[in-house]
Amino acid sequence: MASEFNAPSSRRDALKFGGLAVSLGALAAACGENRGGSEALGRVGNAPSVTTPPDLEVNDVVLLRTASSLELTAVAVYEAALALDDAVPAGAVPLIERMILEHEGTAAEMARLTEAAGGIAWTCTNPWFMERIVGPILESITSNAVGFIVEVDGESEPQLQVMGVTGPIQDTVQITEQLGSITAVDPLDDVEVGDEVEFTRLDAAVPADVLALAIAFENLASAAHQELASATSIVEARVAHAQASALEARHAALLSFLSTPDRTDAYFSPALVGGEVVPDARSQFRSFAINSTFNQTAQIEIKAGPGDLNNVRTSYLLQTPAANSLVYNELSCDA
């Protein structure tokens, strides 16, 4: 008998008893009645009462308005990039202008379909994307590098730490031989330990970030239309989303060619043939025209802005529209 008490529980036993516990729990829950009381979660303290979010309807019109908003957000991204000094190489301006026209055209088509479905066309950017994604990324892109004056063990004089480099205080700091140097924006004559010092971005860093954002946004738009094609119940809208998905995949592919000195390096991802994909010298994720066998709808990660004191750059995640970024019928461009 003692050996039975000593018998260890096997995984099978654990699953068996666990399943039994869940089943009995479900049975008890199903059989229970007249228990009364509030069904709200228990609360402790004087926290304000919970506000139930509105349960807004997601219908075909909402999906089409969301599509319009994404297209117009893409237009806003490109217009912002064109407005920045030297953010878009002169040779790429005609391409950007062409893509603006195409996004406006797609937005107009989505607006037409919205009205045909009995809705009110959405004629401005996506508020959630602008506030949470585009705004912060553009702010990072246009930010200067920041260094600090620090004390370093073994050094008699204060040192300058910026973008992973620590050394004597000087106006120009070479980050790496490949990446080049940055220059102090303000004079460094009277700086003390703890002072913050602003530096320019690396050469061509801003255009590279703008390009990464543009590629990411085109891939995002393609993925969003891909999802919307299957989400809508309107056949005409399904076709329009499929066409837009293909068009924006073409945009992303062509932009990818600009991300490497040799455009043929950006034709396809080495991962498709068992290779490794490593970030570029600026730690940016690589972009490829053909980046997967099937068009991906997963989140897209990009880096933007200068590196911090340890030369770590901020990551941003772009995701296709979901509950928090849909343009519901209750929203208005005027609001």
Partner 1 sequence: MDLENAEPAADAIARRGLFARVGVAGLAGVAAALVVDRSALASPDDEERPNVPTGDDKEILSAVIGIENAISGLYRARLDSGVPDELAGVVGVMAENHQAYAQAVSGATGLSAQDSDNTDLFDAFEDAFTGSADDFFAAAHQIEQTAVATHISLISDYESDTAIRLTASILAVEARHATVLADLLGVSDFDIIFGNEQTALTISGDDA
Q: Minimal distance in Å, beta carbon 229 to partner 1?
A: 5
Environment class of 231 (CB within 10 Å of its CB; exposed 0-12, middle 13-18, buried 19+): middle
Q: Which is nearer to partner 1, 191 or 228 (CB)?
A: 228
Residue 56 CB, shortest distance to partner 1, in Å, is 10
Q: How far is the CB of 255 from partner 1 (least distance, A)?
A: 10
Going by their DSSP bridges, the two strands 165-168 and 145-150 should be labelled as unpaired
**How many angstroms separate the CA atoms of 68 and 64, rounded?**
6
Distance CA 205, CA 280 (A): 12
Q: Judged by CB, which is closer to partner 1: 18, or 167? A: 18
State in angstroms the smallest separation of the CB of 54 from partner 1: 13
Rounded Cα distance, 259 and 272, in Å: 19
- Calculate Rg over the CA atoms of the chain: 27
The residue among 148 and 267 lying less far from partner 1, judged by its C-beta, is 267
Count CB atoms within 10 A of the CB of residue 69: 27
Q: How far is the CB of 234 from partner 1 (least distance, A)?
A: 9
Looking at the Cβ atoms of 165 and 247, the one nearer to partner 1 is 247
Q: For residue 184, which phi and psi values (nearest 5 degrees)?
A: -65, 140
**Tokens representing residue 86 in the block:** 């030297």
Question: Taking the complex as a whole, how short is the minimal distance between the CB of residue 298 and partner 1, in angstroms?
Answer: 12
Closer by beta carbon to partner 1, 192 or else 262: 262
When the beta carbons of 246 and 317 are compared against partner 1, the nearer one is 246
Nearest approach, Cβ of 273 to partner 1 (angstroms)?
6
- When the beta carbons of 2 and 47 are compared against partner 1, the nearer one is 2
Burial 93-120 (b: 16+ CB within 10 A, else e): eebbeebbebbeebbebbbebbeebebe
Residue 241 or residue 282: which is nearer to partner 1 going by CB? 241
Q: Is residue 264 classed as helix, strand or coil in its secondary structure?
A: helix
- What are φ and ψ of residue 315, in 5° steps? -95, 145
Q: Which is nearer to partner 1, 15 or 193 (CB)?
A: 15
Q: What are phi and psi of 165, to 5 degrees?
A: -110, 130
Helices (H), the chain: 2-6, 11-31, 60-83, 93-116, 127-129, 135-141, 205-231, 235-257
Quote the least distance from Cβ 271 to partner 1, whole Å: 10
Give the nearest distance from C-beta 246 to partner 1 in angstroms.
4
How many angstroms separate the CA atoms of 65 and 110, rounded? Answer: 7
| Neighbour tally for 152: CB within 10 Å | 13
Binding site for partner 1 (CB under 8 A): 1-3, 5-9, 13-15, 17-19, 21-22, 25, 58-60, 63, 94-95, 98, 102, 222, 226-233, 235-236, 238-239, 241-243, 245-247, 249-254, 257, 263-264, 267-268, 272-273, 289-295, 297, 321-323, 326
